[in-house]
Amino acid sequence: MHRMGGIRAGLHFRASHSILLTCDMLSTKIVNLYILTMAGFRSLAPKTRNLVVAGGLSAFVLGVYYYTMRAVGGTDELQVAIDKFEEMKKKDAARNSNAGGS
């Protein structure tokens, strides 16, 4: 035991030890589930596995593309600036033609 106060240090050790055991058991279950899932995937025909992988990659790429277009395309600041510039250009051209004709 540690010199932190006898029983309290022992309880702390036991609590942390049980947490570690719980985490270890959980990680073992996750690894076993992963192995079972991969065993099911590996039992598929090669063409089927290729289709599953291609479908997953395509879904990921389309998801990223859709998210990016929604995030970036939400504001059309550049188009608004271009429209304002074109409007100012037309007003300036109208002023110059009126000033030149007078």
| Residue ranges covered by each domain of the chain | 1-43, 45-102
pLDDT at 1 over 50: no
Q: Name the pTM for this structure.
A: 0.40
Question: What Cα–Cα distance (Å) separates residue 54 from each residue in 49, 62, 67, 92?
Answer: 8, 12, 20, 56
User: Per-residue pLDDT tens for 45-85?
Assistant: 889 989 999 999 999 999 999 998 888 776 677 888 899 99
Band of residue 42 on the pLDDT scale cut at 50, 70, 90: confident
Residues contacting residue 42 through CB under 8 Å, at least 6 positions apart: 49
pLDDT at 16: 54
DSSP codes, 9-39: HHHHHHHHHHHHHHHHHHHHHHHHHHHHHHH
